[in-house]
Chain A
Amino acid sequence: MTDKTYMCILRSGTGGCEKPSPSEMELQYAKYQAWQQKFTNNILDMGNKLGAAGSVVRHDSVNDGPFIELKEIIGGYMMLTAATLDEAIAVIQASPMVANEGTSIEIREVCTR
């Protein structure tokens, strides 16, 4: 079975949270590194962060963001490869990203055919 490509879209809550301390951040970093090492074959691209400002263009209008009507803002994306959606879910579930309360990650297959 050939592996499929998945795009993972990161959403995080807009609520202001307390600034993490250096020790919390180094712990977080260590978790990321461990996760990346474990799933090195699944992670195609760690993607990028998306800027907070933006616009929505429709046929009749252009609306500037940020999109305050939404409770969650898309903060970034990354690319995975996995045989099945279930495998991709398992990779994301093991990641330190889901440990943050208020973060959700949407996983969508990138259809190339």
Chain B
Amino acid sequence: MNQQAKVEHLFRHEYGKIVALLLRRLGLQHLDAIEDAVQWSMAQALEVWCRESTPHSPSAWLYQVAHNHLHSQLRATQRQNVLLTEHLYTAQDETFEHEEASFAGEMSDAMLRMLFIACNDAMPVESQLVFTLKSLCGFSIKEIALRLFISQANVYKRFGRAKQQLKNQTLELDMLTDDEMLCRMPSVHRVLYLLFTEGYLSSHTDNAIRQDLCEEAIRLTKSLANSRFGNVPNSYALLALMYFHLARINTRQDELGALLLLEQQDRSLWNKQHITVAMAYLAQSADGHTISRYHVEAGIAAEHCLSPSFEQTPWQKVVSSYELLHSIAPSPLHYLNHAIAVAQWKNPEAGLAVLKSIDGPDWLYRSFHWYAVQSDLLFRSGDTVNGREYATLAIEAAPTDSIKQLLHKRLIGR
């Protein structure tokens, strides 16, 4: 059983590290060949490990096999490239002299550098996300499509764009200076945040599928926070935010998979251990002079997690946090959360007044979020006629069936 626990996600987690280390040693232009070789080494592992046993250091085994395979592949196609072959020979010698611990350290360092290379604002954030999922988290195109609710063709397109971009740039993993890494830090945080929310907000009925994106995001953010260059307050704020949300992830749906609102969730089921971990990260994130959106969002999540009931939530604090959040990272959706919190703190009319004062973009006024909040506050203020009208609009505009059901239950079935 122990042995089995040890290999849980072994292949997927090693995948990104081995790909990154080979990319670091051979250069980004070999991305395709490297991904094929790592895939091949895992197919070999499946055969050999089943017949013999799991090797003492699975990652060194996989690296070696991928490396040798790549060697023979590249030698066959690029005989003229002497430099490359030399590279491979030195890489091979190095590996065997390496202590296991420093090998592991080098692998995660390579993986993080890869993440910084991928978080390049010259490519769309969707492509950054897909590249991270494919090459660093080891998900297949099919698995990414399933998790992001987009077509496989779309995943291919985004991945292709990322690869093209990476091949066109002349930057290699070791060429990123500390300053450049610092400049890219916000993009790295954003991709990790996106990775987490894609999992957290997903309406996938399979719990495991929702959770594994969140776990991937946490795994990468942790190794970022543990690294020399990623050890910054914002990384800890992001981890705090992730753990506060993770504590509630299993109570967001009922046993039939229908979404549950915050006030309907069974607070006794919230994971206390995760909340404790989140609090510790939040404390660690306060070690600086700047405050980021992640700090504020973690703060709001903390208020919810620590409140014994929905009614006892310190709404006034939540309201001022949303005001702060809006001044740091303006987003029309923060207005809506702000309006909801004001309605809880004061009364529904005050919430409606906030909605009226909003000067948002056009898409906001056509989004189901807007309709739903309007409808809810109108009903609660006693205006059932307009409330019902907005409810119909909200249900029509909702993107998935589970959201439609939730809105129906909340707005029509009241």
Contact = CB atoms under 8 A, between A and B. Distances in A.
A25 B139 contact: no
B140 A32 contact: no
A interface, how many residues as a size bin? 10 to 19
Contacts of B142: 21
A46 B138 contact: no
Report which residue of B51, B138, B143 has the largest number of chain A beta carbons within 10 angstroms of its beta carbon.
B51
A84 interface: no
B50 interface: yes
B72 to A, nearest CB: 17
A99 B192 CA distance: 36
A25 B46 contact: yes
B15 A22 contact: yes
Contacts of A47: 51
B9 interface: yes
A25 B42 contact: yes
Given A32-B50, A34-B4, A36-B50, A26 B10 contact: yes
B11 A29 contact: yes
A36 B51 CA distance: 10
Contact of B4 (A22, A28, A30, A46): A30
A33 interface: yes
Contacts of B45: 25, 29
Main secondary structure of the interface of B (DSSP, over half): helix
A23 B47 contact: no
A48 B51 contact: yes
A32 B3 CA distance: 12
29 contacts: A21-B138, A22-B14, A22-B15, A22-B39, A22-B42, A22-B139, A22-B140, A23-B9, A23-B138, A23-B140, A24-B140, A25-B11, A25-B43, A26-B7, A26-B11, A29-B10, A29-B45, A29-B46, A29-B49, A29-B50, A30-B7, A32-B46, A32-B50, A33-B3, A33-B7, A33-B50, A36-B50, A46-B51, A48-B51
Interface of B: 3-4, 7-12, 14-15, 39, 42-43, 45-47, 49-52, 138-140, 142-143
Interface of A: 19-26, 28-30, 32-34, 36, 46-49
Instruction: List the 6 closest A-B pairs by CB distance, nearest first.
Output: A21-B140, A26-B11, A22-B138, A46-B51, A22-B11, A22-B12
